[in-house]
Amino acid sequence: MLLVTGGAGFIGSNVVAALNDAGRSDVAVCDLLGHEGKWRNLAKRQLADIVPPAELIDWLNGRKLDAVIHLGAISSTTATDGDLVIETNFRLSMRLLDWCTANGVPFIYASSAATYGDGEEGFGDDASLAALKTLRPMNLYGWSKHLFDLAVAERLARGDKLPPQWAGLKFFNVFGPNEYHKGTMMSVLARRFDDVRAGRVVQLFKSHREGIADGDQRRDFIYVDDVVRVIMWLLATPAVSGLFNVGTGKARSFKDLILAAYAALGTKPNIEYIDMPEAIRGSYQYFTQSEVDRLCRAGYNGGFTALEDAVTAYVRGYLDRPDRFR
């Protein structure tokens, strides 16, 4: 059996779909379904169990698992409940790390590009304690992920026992099907697609930084299928452990993203630029771009989908269809 925490969420449900497609029906999901229709992310899937997070540690007692894919977290970059975020994102992760270590189970977990903060220290995925300690996350979510990366790195530096395979994945700006429950944390493409399709004006933020044009704030946008391929490769390559960036290695603008959606529909762009809210101006990232050399040196050769191709696949395969779910 495989365990996917956060398996009803965005990336998690896409991983579950890939496991089903690979012939695995012995997949247990740990997640809360809530009242927002998140169950639809799993409606086409076959599962062995759905476990509430509060029951997970008891559920694990006596279990034999092939791997734990730990994607469950409070992922909102605007979260403010420090105690809840640390309990969910850090302390539960530590318990799972300990369980996988004690039971010899491979452990693949989600870190985040939010650990890099404003990017002044670059976006190199050096897992050494010295390198990690230079990072300054800008929000509670990023700090909670950073704290866990540090804990794993310290065990590695001390020569402490770790799971037979461990991999932390610093996801950059992931977009794709099944992100619809995320509200304001959805990709700009998913949030604005109905406006794009209807011909209504699409609003993007003005730039408040000299030398950067309106709409030219840049992110490393990566399609969820690429993320899933990396995770499936790790499952099939148990000799590989480490902390890895998961991005395309190419920063593209929000304007590029939305223009690609218009192109996929064959419609005329209609974009206007509005002031960025004062509340987020001080913590807004203007540029993220992953360094993926470490992942490639580890043997990954699956490549990454170009932005325009990824947007076209998302728009035509999901967003512009009656059923948007994978």
Whose tokens are 């909102």? That residue is 76
DSSP codes joined into one string, 232-276: HHHHH-TT--EEEEES-S--EEHHHHHHHHHHHHT----EEEEPP
Residue 219 bridge partners (DSSP): 252
Is 109 one of the catalytic residues?
A: no
Say if residues 261 and 239 touch (Cβ distance below 8 Å).
no
Would you state the structure tokens that stand for residue 155, as one six-digit string? 């065990």
Amino acid at 290: S
Q: Can you say which residues are annotated as belonging to the binding site for NADP(+)?
A: 10-11, 31-32, 38, 71-75, 145, 174, 182
Give the integer Cα–Cα distance in Å for 253 and 245. 19
Q: Can you say which residues are annotated as belonging to the binding site for substrate?
A: 173, 184, 205-208, 219, 284
Q: Which of 116, 141, 223, 300 is catalytic?
A: 141
Give the integer Cα–Cα distance in Å for 7 and 3. 8
Is 141 one of the catalytic residues?
A: yes
Q: Which of 182, 250, 273, 286 is catalytic?
A: 182
Q: Can you say which residues are annotated as belonging to the binding site?
A: 10-11, 31-32, 38, 71-75, 145, 173-174, 182, 184, 205-208, 219, 284
Please work out, in degrees rounded to the nearest 5, the angle formed at the alpha carbon of residue 162 by the alpha carbons of 126 and 48: 105
Classify residue 256 as exposed, middle or buried by CB count within 10 Å of its CB (0-12, 13-18, 19+).
Answer: middle
Give the integer Cα–Cα distance in Å for 83 and 290. 30
Please work out, in degrees rounded to the nearest 5, the angle formed at the alpha carbon of residue 134 by the alpha carbons of 129 and 138: 120
Say if residues 163 and 97 touch (Cβ distance below 8 Å).
yes
Instruction: Please state, as a whole number, how many other Cβ atoms lie within 10 Å of the Cβ of residue 122.
Output: 13
Give the integer Cα–Cα distance in Å for 80 and 78. 6
Q: Would you name the residues annotated as active-site residues?
A: 141, 182
